[in-house]
Amino acid sequence: TTRTVAVLVGSLRKDSFSRQVAEALAAVSPQSVKFRFVEIGDLPFYNQDDEATPPAQWVRFREQIRSADALLFVTPEYNRSVPAVLKNAIDVGSRPYGHSVFNGKPGAVISVTPGGLGAFGANHHLRQSLVFLNVPTLQSEAYISNAGALFDEQGQLVNEDTRGFLTKYARDFADWIEVIVGARAPEFV
Ligand code: FNR
C-alpha cells in the first residue's frame, strides 16, 4: 500500500538545509512512501476572527494535511524553539477546535542546524505541540548538526554517514506509519 506523507519544512529560505535534509530523506525512503511538500509560507497568521470566512490558503493547507496519511516535520531551530512560520502552520491546522487536521496522523520530527547542538530545542518544543495534537510521533530522535558540511553547492547530500542515518530513519518511519495507519480499526480509515 502506498502512504502519502505531508512534509512541513520550518524554513522558507531558498537554500534551506532543512529542505535539503527533507529532500535527501525522500530520496532514500522506501518506494511505498510518497512525500508531498506542503507550502506554509503563504499562510496568514492565525486569527480566530477569520474562521467565519477562512482565508483560501488555510483551506488549501488544511485539505493538504487532511488528505495525507502521515506528517514529516523537518525544521531548523530559531532561538532555541520552533520557527514562527511552522508554529503558525500548526496553529492553522489545529483549528477550529475539535476539527484539527493533524489528529491521529503518525508523525516524525527531524531538526537541522549548521551548529553543533542538533536544534534540540526546536525538536522538543515541536514534540510538545504534537503530544497535545494527538500526533503519534516516531520515538527515534533525528538531530542533524553541522548541516553546512553535509551538502554540495547544488544542495546534494555528500555525507555518507548522514545518508545511512536517513535511510534507516526513513525505513523506521515507513514502519511506524504502518503501525499506526495499518493497524487502525476500519471506522477510522
Ligand atoms: C537561527 N539559528 C539558530 N541555530 C541554532 O542551532 N539554534 C538557534 O537557536 C538558532 N536561532 C536562530 C534564530 C534565527 C532568527 C535565525 C534566522 C537563525 C541559525 C539557523 O540554524 C541557521 O540559520 C539555519 O541555516 C536555518 O535553517 P535552514 O534555513 O538552513 O533550514
- Say if ligand 1 is within 6 A of residue 20 CB: no
- Say if ligand 1 is within 6 A of residue 18 CB: yes
Instruction: Look at residue 61 in the predicted model and tell me its pLDDT.
Output: 98
Q: Give the ipTM of the model, two decimals please.
A: 0.99
- Grid cell listed for 149: 558540511
Could you give the C-alpha distances from 38 to 1, 75, 141, 153, 160, in angstroms and in order?
Answer: 22, 13, 22, 24, 27
Distance 189 CA to ligand 1 centre (A): 38
Instruction: Look at residue 19 in the predicted model and tell me its pLDDT.
Output: 98
Could you tell me where the beta strands, DSSP code E, fall in 10-133? 33-37, 70-75, 107-112
Instruction: Look at residue 126 in the predicted model and tell me its pLDDT.
Output: 98
Segments of the chain scoring below 70 in pLDDT: 187-189
- Say if ligand 1 is within 6 A of residue 184 CB: no
- Say if ligand 1 is within 6 A of residue 113 CB: yes
Instruction: Look at residue 182 in the predicted model and tell me its pLDDT.
Output: 86
Instruction: Look at residue 181 in the predicted model and tell me its pLDDT.
Output: 94
**Distance, CA of 117 to CA of 128 (rounded, Å):** 19
Q: Hey, what domains does the chain have and what are their CATH numbers?
A: 3-184 (3.40.50.360)
Sheet holding 3-9, edge to edge: 33-37, 3-9, 70-75, 107-112, 143-144
Instruction: Look at residue 188 in the predicted model and tell me its pLDDT.
Output: 60
